[in-house]
Structure 1
């Protein structure tokens, strides 16, 4: 059913049954309507329908909401004085006080649709100025009712404070727009504030209307998804006079949550109850509905609300608006009840009339005189909700401007037609509002998305206690979903002030913090934020407060005693810097010089009988092998590099095989040489080098074969042992194949055993011609060292395993040097009289 314009001024319309109050209008070529919650509360009697219901009486005049209404009037006057915007067109306005009731919001809508005089549903009983659209309402429930009515006829509606996401539905509300972001973004922002301060235990308090119910569900979902627990969820019953505040305050008292998110336009009643019961010490998180509300910013409430933080409508510049407000005066608006109420509220006075006097209940009331000066009131050009109203008016004005500038043939309608600015239809203007795009005077870009929402941006405000005891809403950050750097929430933590002026962020947790070194253990049947603390298992740490789980240290580190950090493990190996390693290194270097010194002595005295008698060339080879035996122990000292691990045991095995082979060859040479002197002996042909060198070569090749097979099949490699000693990394060489290692060592034992047996059997040969006794002692010492080495090697750990092998190498090599060569050097150097052929031969004959 369409809205019908009157074709004649003689059409008779029925008068409304009820009176129209709280209505203000000004004529113009095109009318912009507006609904405002100038009065916050209402006074109504019970409805028993036994008599005619009384008219609703509004109470509690709010200056801030009055400013919002005058932001529309100011914007209309500003546009009318602008020659570049809507030239030759004068805008008028009709504004209506909804008194924070759905009924009044619907009444105001129908009144403006009916022409502004009477409420005649579905009829417009006045010709002339057309209604362009309506700015309002200031709350979601009222806006939804208005949108359902206005959407039927496609009249544009732009709300400046309705945030419910329900209004995003373009099928239900096709003509609804708003200049404030919807609650989907705001509730996400509130949750981000909670996460930013690390609060995990919060309460939720909301109005039981569309705004509160939807907002509570959205923020609760965001909080739970982010790991925060909800201590309680309660609704403020807007249908009750006391809003159920006494019960709500008791719930707040019993809760351990210190942070409460309040999604409400009725919180003032609850705050009054908090004040009555002296309940303080809580941090309230405010939505835009009350984040900067002057009604709650008075000195009376600051013991309760100081430290409040919230998301507020983005602050913007409205030049000359403060000047406009200061120029308001009752003498200019003789029949404007809003101005009179504003005057009483601003100057705490009363207009005198026959119904009242200056004395009421023995309390003197100051009389209003019209001489009060508005210049003394602090009114800033930076506004929040008023700026949204101002922007909404300009959105309609720019849409009308685009419509008026349309050129036939290029228009957006059928056949390129344009709408007539003097007789346009509501749906035609709706097209232009959807596509409006302009900049405000403070440089902000204004446009609407597909759901009628503007760009989402909020100010983060913190309530500080001002010098006069009232609250100062200090902007401490922004929540901007279109931030160019991607940092949506941007706050300055240094600017925050909390309860009692404290600068430390309060803690709101169900359970006390678990210190580093502990982890949280969830208690069955309680929310995840309620937990106990348990010590981390051995070898694991937690380095943060309230750790969910403990983490093992990396392989090269170990927990400290508090188990809150990992310390670097001590790396253990036989180092040159270590006292043990250094002493073994010095001993090795010194010991390696002894065979060279002896070799030099033998070379110098090689013409002497004792050197000749002991096979000079074989002795030199043995001394060189002993020199290498001493040096090979250096391969066991220092950090186990891969090359060192690969070669050190092989080098040890080969040089010792060469050494013992030389000893065996010397023993056999002595035996053969002695027996070859007997008449008819067949051993004469085996004297000289025919036996010794092939024997040495064969014995060395056998050991070489074992070592090569070892290197090819399972070669040694560096190994890091983190299990043997807690907190210590043992770096050693894994022998790869223990079988190959013991085969190599066993072969050396076999050679040494054969040498010992042969030398033992030849011990009674003439002393002047053989070394059998000395070789016997040397092999006995050699075998003793290595037999003792086996259990010590198997029981030692870390660098001591390596030290044991180095000690065995040095000891066994010294046994050979000491037993075989030291006696000869003694004779050569200190008993030269015994180093003669005569002495040797004589001694020999004496034995015979």
Structure 2
């Protein structure tokens, strides 16, 4: 193409040239879009050509000047290293984006086309041998650059997180020198869950990028139990007339933040957002005269830096003290400190950024060559960069500067790989140049580039062209004199195993002074202690709830449980209902007082019965023993002795044998005892009736009838017990449900119906015996045994009638104790009522133990 710039210039008017640029010549050029200066002017009316920008309209972010120095330092290192791109010098062209789309597009076009000419798609020489573009800092700036450089296949390396780039028009891949933003979301979530900050706020800009962030994190965090007290969106401003509106909006936002119970807020926005964040307490104090702001833990995303503008030099930085920031990992390459400290406006030429940086950082003004009148301090150019507070400038390399430094090396290493593969170079004017058409092939080498930088750290991209690295968690500490330093307190590394991805050192964190160095809490409702559960308040977020005690029988062993739950069968809740305690084993044992008392009582009655048996056997031939069938007497005494002894089958831990025997033995032995009483009663009645003249009852009087009664009645009970054993025998079991605090070891009776059949049959025999004895109670004998049998059966029936409700209302070992007591009481009743009067005569009144006395009738 023939150069006809004077013709084209007539057709396309040049816009105002950028106020800031920095060029360094080289065989190959790296372009860069920096972000250092805001232009705050009146709104454009389009009625006339806008005037050039004045110095008074510039608002510089001094800290961002380090980004320019990082690129210049990397190029200097490369040019001084003969091992990298030998015989080729590297240069750069840097323009400012001014944080606007218009100036970003303008700067990108100046990078791509002929240097010094704003003529789109026109290049008439090889002076501008551009190989890659580094930029931008903020997401939208990166997108604006991409829309131009994608057309010409120039590699673009951005040095800040930019998720908006994923939605750009498909084209050439970009390379992100910061970990992808999804890692930040996961890291922030891990941080919130670690400190149990479940009630938080969000502060962001009301733009596409802010909406994307909110739409991403709100559902993600909500799924993990985190609620949002507020989501505040701030408007951006670019013209003077919008400042008052921004102040008013900021005052309302600050009041809402300070009145909220949330002590934690996530701040997401552009790199300069902290500048506006620091305005909040000031605009609120001016407009509403509120009290001193409460402490807040600001969680800042990797895009944000602690920056100040010149008018904020004396502002308090308390608002951001103790903040936690997810930062791009950074390091200090050797020689960077020295390089930075060597910079001053007097010794550097071609740097169009340094003078405005110097004036804003040091709060001074350079003397104008046209007039000597200046307002404020005069800049000498020899001011010491070390004297600047951290919010204005840092000597150590920041995360964004480190990304730019690595971006330059990534391009150079990819270029070196390309030049080693392609030897078709062209030489012009003594300089070695790559052919322009080979730039497309540079993308292949950038995707796979991997190298160790001068700081000794590995740099490579993942399959999506994003830096394969994690994020540091940094604690911002600011002193009253605005001295600022960062403390690394943790890390989120997505490449590590899941359980090691998030690490944090709580002891290393300095919290905002409003928390008195205690870990802050951020909850809508104080945690529900163990022993209670959450009840969500109607119409409020799920993080706002009431705490209600667990119902009886349920527990919650952790805080903030959604519901209480029952203990397993072997455990029971403690008094506070926050722990399950193993149940104690319960059975009627000899070691406890109840079991020992019953055993002692049974043994005592057994001894007494044995003594009575001995006495009767010793007086075997006396009339009172012979009377009323002494064999039945012995059978009754032996059965009562066995009744007392069978109670020992009920005491102690239930075993298979004891469970099988105890109810069967009890039923059969008691049947023998009661049938013996019945036989004795019938014998008394028949004997009285047989004494009447002409009575036919004499043939029934004798031992045979008594034996038949005892055997038949006992045999029927034995048949019932046999059926019981054959169909559903008793067995030992552990009852874990009846008692809340005990596991009851007991005998399951198997068939409850057969168990009550045994008892019912005993009751039937007892009732028959009582009825017969009651009818014979007034027989005119001097020693009327029927009267004593009546008393004994009355006691017997009373005991077993009271047994049924007592047994059914008892639980555990007390059921066994009730049955033992009933056995002992009924047996003792028979023993006492029937045999005590006879023993009295045998031992104390032997003169009454005669046949004449016994057969004498009383009328």
TM-score range, shorter chain: 0.7 to 0.9
Write out per-residue CA displacement over residues 488-520 of structure 1, whole angstroms, 9 at most, x where no aligned residue: 332223333134352334444455666666655
In the TM superposition, 1:139-218 aligns within 5 A as 139-161=138-160, 163-169=161-167, 172-218=170-216
CA contact (8 A) 2:345 2:381 kept: no
In the TM superposition, 1:550-629 aligns within 5 A as 550-551=564-565, 579-601=593-615, 619-629=633-643
- CA drift at 1:655: 2.1
- CA drift at 1:147: 0.9
What is the TM-score with the length of structure 1 in the denominator?
0.83
Which residue in 2 is equivalent to 1:277? 284
Unmatched runs of 5 consecutive residues or more in structure 2: 425-431
Which residue in 1 is equivalent to 2:429? none
Aligned residues: 821
- CA drift at 1:431: 1.1
Write out per-residue CA displacement over residues 575-598 of structure 1, whole angstroms, 9 at most, x where no aligned residue: 656654443332123223323333
Cα distance 1:272–1:777, how it changes in 2: closer, same or farther (>3 A)? Answer: closer
Q: Tell whether 2:408 aligns with 1:396.
A: no
Which residue in 1 is equivalent to 2:349? 334
Write out per-residue CA displacement over residues 429-483 of structure 1, whole angstroms, 9 at most, x where no aligned residue: 0111112223345554432233322225222223334374434332222222222
Unmatched runs of 5 consecutive residues or more in structure 1: 1-5, 410-418
Bigger CA drift: 58-67 or 151-160? 58-67
Match for residue 827 of structure 2 among 813, 818, 836: 813
In the TM superposition, 1:274-423 aligns within 5 A as 274-278=281-285, 280-281=293-294, 282-293=296-307, 300-355=315-370, 357=372, 360=375, 363=376, 365-370=377-382, 372-374=383-385, 381=396, 383-406=398-421, 421=434
Cα distance 1:327–1:611, how it changes in 2: closer, same or farther (>3 A)? Answer: same
Cα distance 1:665–1:533, how it changes in 2: closer, same or farther (>3 A)? Answer: closer
Which residue in 1 is equivalent to 2:50? 53
Helix, strand or coil for the counterpart of 1:277?
helix
Which residue in 1 is equivalent to 2:428? none
CA contact (8 A) 1:302 1:471 kept: no
- CA drift at 1:157: 0.4
Helix, strand or coil for the counterpart of 1:123?
coil
Cα distance 1:685–1:575, how it changes in 2: closer, same or farther (>3 A)? Answer: closer
Which residue in 1 is equivalent to 2:84? 85
Partners in 1 of 2:16 and 2:757 — Cα distance?
Answer: 116
Partners in 2 of 1:517 and 1:846 — Cα distance?
Answer: 80
- CA drift at 1:384: 1.3
Helix, strand or coil for the counterpart of 1:300?
coil
Match for residue 475 of structure 1 among 473, 481, 488: 488
Which residue in 2 is equivalent to 1:415? none
Helix, strand or coil for the counterpart of 2:23?
strand
- CA drift at 1:732: 7.1
Partners in 1 of 2:504 and 2:593 — Cα distance?
Answer: 58
Q: Tell whether 2:470 aligns with 1:457.
A: yes
Bigger CA drift: 65-74 or 378-387? 378-387
Q: Tell whether 2:252 aligns with 1:250.
A: yes
Which residue in 1 is equivalent to 2:716? 702
Helix, strand or coil for the counterpart of 2:715?
helix
Helix, strand or coil for the counterpart of 2:32?
strand
Write out per-residue CA displacement over residues 666-685 of structure 1, whole angstroms, 9 at most, x where no aligned residue: 55677889999999999789
Helix, strand or coil for the counterpart of 2:120?
coil
- CA drift at 1:765: 9.1
Which residue in 2 is equivalent to 1:226? 224
CA contact (8 A) 1:151 1:173 kept: yes
In the TM superposition, 1:830-841 aligns within 5 A as 839-840=850-851
Partners in 2 of 1:638 and 1:441 — Cα distance?
Answer: 83
Q: CA RMSD in A?
A: 4.4
Helix, strand or coil for the counterpart of 2:76?
helix
Partners in 1 of 2:456 and 2:841 — Cα distance?
Answer: 110
Cα distance 1:82–1:695, how it changes in 2: closer, same or farther (>3 A)? Answer: farther
CA contact (8 A) 2:533 2:549 kept: yes
Cα distance 1:356–1:385, how it changes in 2: closer, same or farther (>3 A)? Answer: farther
Which residue in 2 is equivalent to 1:3? none
Q: Tell whether 2:470 aligns with 1:448.
A: no
Which residue in 2 is equivalent to 1:651? 665
Partners in 2 of 1:534 and 1:794 — Cα distance?
Answer: 36
The structure, 1 or 2, with the larger RCO (C-alpha pairs under 8 Å, 6+ apart) is 2
Cα distance 1:527–1:819, how it changes in 2: closer, same or farther (>3 A)? Answer: closer
